[in-house]
Structure 1
Amino acid sequence: MDESLSSLFPLYELPSEDEGADPETALEEPQDPGLQDVDPDTGRMYVGLAGLPRQVHQSCMAKGFDLTLMVVGESGLGKSTLVNSLFLVDLYKDRLLPSASENVTQTMSITRKTAAIEEKGIRLRLTVVDTPGFGDALDNRESRMQASDYIKEQFEAYRRDETALNRRNIHDNRVHCCLYFISPFGHGLKPLDVACMKSLQDMVNLVPVVAKADSLTKAELLAKKARILKDIASHKIKIFQFLCEDEEEFWPSDLELQNSIPFAVIGGNATMESNDKCYLARVYPWGAVNVESPANSDFSLLRRMLVTNHMQAMKDFTHHTLYENYRVKVHQRSHKPARRPIANKDQWTLPNSSLPSRRPPVPRSPSPSGVKKVNRSPSRQRPHTPQGPRVRLCPAALQALPPQRPLLHP
């Protein structure tokens, strides 16, 4: 009996009775790589959908990632130093700092720096858009709009590439996040800050940052953050939200990030070692400040938000919400019917004398004596035609009018 079963089912092995095996687990199924697992809840075999994230992971690893970051703020707030500290790069090797006299006459400009970063096999193409000269001039009405105009130009360039015939090599230079640097000196937001943030709020993920947090005490820093949040709420400025639309409450890590807005940061590129651990520090003549310590600044929270937790969320929100809103507005403007302008209104107006007037009344002879005058019924009375208002006709309609004939009086 055992030999016949083994000849029919060569993959199964029947244990002998001396081994004392359990008869329920005597027959084992063959090990199929795709169907070897069973869902304990439904009892159905797995199809293999668990391998889809691995496929997406392999595709993303092959293509790499990209991030476009814009930094906006006054000169001297440490924008370049903070970017170098966040991504451990040196993007401003050949930068020349202008003198004080040049800062007065300097106008705002847009500069782009690109760096390729690789960490544990993951490649990132980082593009930093800087705004040197912002807020340095006496008249800053134009500088507050240059940043928003640049973002619109990138949206328009992407829209043209997207609607072109060849869409294989589309260059996506849209700005995914904007770090707006707020000066630690003063009370709350300046009028320039309010105007610039309101011009950027509908086109980019706006993240407010308090620069040079080590120049304030802890009490002053908390009061500064509270005043900035009050100004943001009073002016109805939209900033990046960590709570998604389909979520009802914050994750614990996101709740910590939300409570830290605006991020109080310190930039430093010096590397120091303490207790066999390396950390970034800002060195002064009287000592050094640990940049990555949560007790000193929110640098680690900003890096976690920008790189670790919410980089893809910012890119998705930029593509599916901000860019789509811009594309819909452009589509509506292009399909809106334009009004036909009137060159000269005088030649479109006719005087009343050129219009056919109503028939003049016919003079009647007085009735002879003894003849009774018969009044017509209201239904048989001749209707009164009032003189119409002035009519506006175009020159083409004037030429199409038939020639007027003289009225013959009976």
Structure 2
Amino acid sequence: MREDTAQEQGLDLEPPVPMEEEKEVMEEMEVEIEDPLPCLSETDTQGIIKGRDLFGYVGIEAVLDQMRRKTMKAGFEFNIMVVGQSGLGKSTLVNTLFKSKVSRKSCTPNYEEKISKTVHLQSVSHIIEEKGVKMKLTVIDTPGFGDQINNENCWEPIVKYVNEQYEKYLKEELNVNRKRRIPDSRVHCCVYFLPATGHWLRPIDVEFMRRLGKIVSIVPVIAKADTLTLEERLEFKQRIRQDLQANGIRVYPQKEYDEDAEDRILNDKIRENIPFAVVGTDKEHQVNGNKVLGRKTKWGIIEVENVAHCEFAHLRDLLIRSHLQDLKDVTHNIHYETYRVKRLNESNANGLALSPLTLENGTLEKSEAESHL
């Protein structure tokens, strides 16, 4: 009746507003209030909830204890390679680093020092336990490197060995039924020994570090640094750093691998000391009533762990106490990943499936191809 009356009188009535449109209008009229709590909204992808915002203790920090217990039970692996000509004290320095007889020369009965005609890589493994933490240490020695009159291509067996360890790991990863924990024989660090000549880098040093720096983390050291005076040592270190930069040689730790400002500050201090001038010994002497590792000379005792005498403590801290896990991470995430991507690209380009036989042949072909560079 009312609608008919309104139409007869010529009045225009607006149609009723639907409930959904009415709700949208009401939402537009609402005043937005910022929520002080760090809750996730529709546009946020990540919220930060700190301890003061929690209702109580959750126990997230206990994951560190869980990781520690698992690591202590399973242990971990660390593989270190020492490269340098005979007589530079490689075995002695490795024994000094781990304060035990872990070098091939020390643990081989009736060992006789012989200069190899070619480079033969030999490794020896030990289980070292300290305060409940177990580490499987593998020391890879390179007898015969740099000992010949003609040292052309003497780095090829070392390059081949490093790539073979990457290949073994890759084959294990590609297996259908993979092991729960893949044995890790990859070289995590290569300590390269430079003779204390006081001059520039030799051509063999430049060529080795230039090639190996692309596939493994290299830490150069000046062997038997006690044969140089402090002034000679400083000048020699400066010349080596100039040679490294001029030849584009990458040594650990590289600047591009620094994750944050804190790492950059720490690694800058390390880079300032590279190459480390070291002295190794496994003998103890009495100094002011205390037993210290040192070398006895006519002029006194050179304390190996005294930073005023040599830089062995800096090398030990880098390899073991501060950067051991980072060396393993760089090996896995950088060097091994680069090798893995290259191998997979090669197999895809050739249209071949990655079978063990294909991988093995690919390794040999690749090593031969690199040896002719």
Equivalent in the alignment of 2:335: 322
Preserved contact between residue 198 and residue 233 of structure 2 (Cα < 8 Å): no
Equivalent in the alignment of 1:142: 153
**TM-score, normalising length: structure 2:** 0.75
State the Cα deviation string for residues 154-186 of structure 1 (Å, max 9, x = none): 000111111112322522100000001111115
Equivalent in the alignment of 1:46: 57
- The correspondence for 2:226, drawn from 203, 214, 222, is 214
Which structure: larger Rg? Answer: 1
Q: Does 1:120 align with 2:131?
A: yes
User: Which secondary structure state, in structure 1, belongs to the residue aligned with residue 53 of structure 2?
Assistant: coil
Measured on the aligned residues, the alpha-carbon RMSD in Å equals 2.0
User: Partners in 2 of 1:242 and 1:276 — Cα distance?
Assistant: 41
1:231 aligned partner, one-letter code: D
What is the Cα deviation at residue 142 of structure 1? 3.0
Please, which moves more after superposition, 39-48 or 314-323?
Answer: 39-48
Equivalent in the alignment of 2:238: 226
User: Which secondary structure state, in structure 2, belongs to the residue aligned with residue 135 of structure 1?
Assistant: coil
What is the Cα deviation at residue 44 of structure 1? 2.3
Equivalent in the alignment of 1:176: 188
State the Cα deviation string for residues 223-282 of structure 1 (Å, max 9, x = none): 000000000000000111265433135566544322211100001111123234322112
Map 1:356-367 onto structure 2 (within 5 A).
Answer: none
User: Which secondary structure state, in structure 2, belongs to the residue aligned with residue 85 of structure 1?
Assistant: helix
User: Which secondary structure state, in structure 1, belongs to the residue aligned with residue 245 of structure 2?
Assistant: helix
Equivalent in the alignment of 2:326: 313
User: Partners in 2 of 1:201 and 1:253 — Cα distance?
Assistant: 21
- The correspondence for 1:262, drawn from 275, 285, 289, is 275
State the Cα deviation string for residues 328-353 of structure 1 (Å, max 9, x = none): 00011111148xxxxxxxxxxxxxxx
User: Which secondary structure state, in structure 1, belongs to the residue aligned with residue 155 of structure 2?
Assistant: helix
Q: Which has the higher helix share?
A: 2
Preserved contact between residue 242 and residue 250 of structure 1 (Cα < 8 Å): no
- The correspondence for 1:56, drawn from 64, 67, 92, is 67
- The correspondence for 1:196, drawn from 199, 202, 208, is 208
- The correspondence for 1:78, drawn from 65, 82, 89, is 89
- The correspondence for 1:96, drawn from 112, 124, 129, is 112
Map 1:337-352 onto structure 2 (within 5 A).
Answer: 337=350
Q: Does 1:161 align with 2:172?
A: yes
Please, which moves more after superposition, 276-285 or 151-160?
Answer: 276-285
User: Partners in 1 of 2:241 and 2:309 — Cα distance?
Assistant: 20
Equivalent in the alignment of 1:18: none
User: Which secondary structure state, in structure 2, belongs to the residue aligned with residue 288 of structure 1?
Assistant: strand
Equivalent in the alignment of 2:141: 130
Equivalent in the alignment of 2:19: none
Count of equivalent residues: 296
User: Partners in 1 of 2:290 and 2:266 — Cα distance?
Assistant: 24
Work out which structure has the larger RCO, using CA pairs closer than 8 Å and 6 or more positions apart in sequence.
2
User: Which secondary structure state, in structure 1, belongs to the residue aligned with residue 349 of structure 2?
Assistant: coil
User: Partners in 1 of 2:227 and 2:51 — Cα distance?
Assistant: 59
Equivalent in the alignment of 1:6: none
2:78 aligned partner, one-letter code: L
Gapped regions of structure 1 (runs ≥ 5):
1-37, 339-410
Q: 1:123 to 1:242 in 2, by over 3 A?
A: farther
User: Which secondary structure state, in structure 2, belongs to the residue aligned with residue 116 of structure 1?
Assistant: strand
User: Partners in 1 of 2:269 and 2:287 — Cα distance?
Assistant: 27
2:320 aligned partner, one-letter code: V
Q: 1:336 to 1:50 in 2, by over 3 A?
A: same
- The correspondence for 1:280, drawn from 293, 315, 318, is 293
Q: 1:190 to 1:288 in 2, by over 3 A?
A: same
**TM-score, normalising length: structure 1:** 0.68
1:165 aligned partner, one-letter code: V
